[in-house]
């Protein structure tokens, strides 16, 4: 029996305000597949929206203790993080020349919380080892580097029954993330007010980016196989082709490489941005 399952999904797809379409239905099918697979461990490649990592923003980090912030109607509480296993993974990655950070404690936002709840039912339903991938504060890792990290993580857990999750994307552009990272800490009320103001300014100035679905299609084709040839071209002119939010697909890339199997797209929708669910 295969001891690896990979599920990648956009986040926030089950919010009441999210579309009731194929992607929402697909997350239910993915949840059923996860339940049938019954993993002993979930390795979750996720990002952050400038909430959890402020004064220091690592490119990659293994989180040893995690809580959920509950932002955007997300879950609250503590994840069941196997910290000793996380420390062992960090040591292995360093030994294989990855400059990985150790986050001894992190309050993770909806980039982790929503998809964990969507797939597992609750954030503490299974042992979850969060692996943070910086996608919101350039410079980001390359897609090839994310894949290299994921592949080594998959090799480390080769003898375990593991669900690999990647959450984020697909193509979308967020005006609030056009400005450089400053490390400023905002309350959630301050953050939401600021987001509304920059979005309104972008609309009034006509600077909202009009994206097309071709980047999504190229990315889904890439993770739909096992070749790594596409990894360099997919990141070329990323903001122009996929928007600044497309960098969240670094999490999918790491999970895809960790699982080592092609991903089958269960559903893909595109309007002002892309969202999808895929499974190995």
Residues with catalytic function: 110, 172
CB-based contact 119:14 (threshold 8 Å): no
H or E stretch at 262: none
Rounded CA gap, 266 and 277, in Å? 6
CA distance 113 to 127: 14
Burial class (CB in 10 A: 0-12, 13-18, 19+), 31: middle
DSSP assignment, residue 114? H
CB 108 within 8 A of CB 52: yes
Q: What share of the chain is helix, strand, coil (3-state, %, to 5)?
A: 40, 20, 40
Query: Comparing C-alpha atoms, which of 254, 159, 173 is closest to residue 210?
Result: 173
In angstroms, the first-to-last Cα distance of the chain is: 14
Q: What are phi and psi of 172, to 5 degrees?
A: -170, 160
């Amino acid at each position: 029996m295969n001891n690896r399952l990979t599920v990648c999904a956009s986040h926030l797809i089950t919010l009441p305000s999210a579309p009731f379409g194929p992607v929402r239905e697909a997350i239910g099918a993915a949840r059923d597949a996860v339940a049938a697979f019954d993993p002993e461990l979930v390795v979750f490649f996720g990002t952050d929206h400038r909430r959890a990592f402020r004064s220091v923003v690592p490119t990659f980090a293994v989180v040893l203790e995690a809580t959920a912030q509950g932002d955007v109607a997300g879950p609250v509480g503590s994840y069941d993080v196997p910290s000793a296993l996380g420390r062992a993974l960090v040591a292995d990655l360093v030994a294989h020349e990855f400059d990985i950070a150790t986050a001894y404690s992190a309050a993770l936002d909806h980039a982790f919380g929503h998809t964990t709840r969507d797939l597992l039912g609750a954030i503490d339903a299974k042992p979850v080892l969060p692996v943070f991938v910086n996608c919101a504060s350039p410079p980001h890792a390359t897609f090839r580097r994310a894949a290299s990290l994921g592949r080594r993580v998959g090799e480390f857990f080769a003898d375990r029954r593991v669900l690999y999750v990647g959450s984020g994307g697909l193509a979308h552009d967020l005006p609030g993330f056009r400005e450089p990272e400053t490390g400023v800490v905002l309350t959630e009320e301050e953050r939401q007010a600021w987001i509304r103001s920059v979005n309104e300014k972008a609309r009034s100035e006509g600077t909202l980016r009009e994206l097309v679905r071709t980047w999504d299609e190229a990315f889904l084709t890439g993770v739909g196989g096992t070749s790594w040839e596409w990894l360099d071209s997919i990141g070329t002119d990323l903001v122009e082709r996929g928007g600044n939010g497309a960098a969240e697909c670094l999490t999918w890339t790491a999970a895809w490489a960790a699982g080592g199997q092609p991903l089958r797209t269960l559903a893909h929708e595109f309007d002002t941005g892309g969202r999808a669910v895929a499974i190995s």
